[in-house]
Amino acid sequence: MPELTEVEAFAQAMLRWCGGRRVTALERLDPTVLRTEERDLTGMTVRGVSRRGKHLIVTLDDAELMVHLRMTGQLLPGEGAAFVRASLRLHDAAPVQLIDPRRLAELHVLAPGGAARRLVGLGDEPFPGPRPGSWWRARLGGARRPLKSALMDQALVAGLGNIAASEILWRARLHPTQRASELNDGEWERLAEAAEAFLSKAMSTQEPDRVVYISRGGENPFSVYQRARCPRCEGPVTRLSQQGRSTFLCPRCQPAPLG
């Protein structure tokens, strides 16, 4: 479900759902998602919610709750949803459910400062932007890997996933297999503008309290991801495989690099 913009939307929603509330219990309905438990949250008040890459961090009086939703995790206030793996019960507010059919999500209850310690090595934040072309060049330009692979490397830039990478490259008219180290300054600038445009548009699409990405049977909000035709040139969208993941591109708009 989530990449940077969805986690950001979840973080903002979490602040509305839990901000200033006192925790009455952290219910663990499935033992696999609760990976770390260094504190008992009972009685603590939620002081803030933030995001770092694809990690969501809830700050409490004497603890931090760090969540990674991985592929299929979601957060939703209420009770009785399908696939609830944990539930944060609150005083005078609906509980917040961690939902994850696939059970790959991670929940860490850490001592203060624990999240930052665990996130050492995570790359810099592209959002909120804008970031200039030189910013992207400084972080990705040393990689001789395909540009898409570098974009998704969380140690270089934090938060971009498989969909964002395809969408940003399409907007920038850059080919996914192009070596990152071979981009020129104009191409870095195009990447910078495309990233800013994609991230701000994806954020503006999010509705308060209804964080949605690709919804089953719903509209596809993307330009190339799982699309048949390029909305810019009407040409066919093609798919290739990189790092075992599908990359979508418009070969007309994103010409393959020479050599």
Residues that bind DNA (CB under 7 A): 1-3, 6, 32, 53-54, 68, 70-71, 83, 101-104, 143-146, 149, 152, 154, 161-163, 213-214, 216-217, 242-246
CB neighbour class for 19 (10 Å; exposed up to 12, middle 13-18, buried from 19): middle
Helices 185-205 & 162-172, crossing angle to 10 degrees? 130
> Cα-Cα-Cα-Cα dihedral of 20, 25, 31, 37, to 10°?
70
Work out how close the CB of 240 gets to DNA at its nearest, in angstroms, rounded to a whole number. 11
H/E stretch holding 198 reads helix 185-205
Radius of gyration of the chain (CA): 19
Between 60 and 180, CB nearer to DNA: 180
Catalytic residue among 3, 6, 187, 196, which? 3
Catalytic residue among 37, 245, 251, 257, which? 245
Work out how close the CB of 57 gets to DNA at its nearest, in angstroms, rounded to a whole number. 14
Catalytic residue among 39, 51, 52, 54, which? 54
Between 70 and 173, CB nearer to DNA: 70
Annotated active-site residue 8? The verdict is no
Between 42 and 226, CB nearer to DNA: 226
* CA–CA separation, 249 and 240 (whole Å): 8
Work out how close the CB of 145 gets to DNA at its nearest, in angstroms, rounded to a whole number. 4
Residues 129, 166, 107, CA angle at the centre, nearest 5°?
70
* CA–CA separation, 191 and 186 (whole Å): 9
Instruction: Name 247's bridge partners.
Output: 240
Question: CA neighbours within 13 Å on the CB side: how many for 30?
Answer: 18
Work out how close the CB of 17 gets to DNA at its nearest, in angstroms, rounded to a whole number. 20
Between 19 and 257, CB nearer to DNA: 257
Between 114 and 161, CB nearer to DNA: 161
Annotated active-site residue 2? The verdict is yes
Helices (H), 57-180: 114-118, 133-140, 147-151, 162-172
Give Cα separations from 189 to 136, 172, 194 (angstroms). 8, 9, 9
Work out how close the CB of 218 gets to DNA at its nearest, in angstroms, rounded to a whole number. 9
Active site residues: 2-3, 54, 245
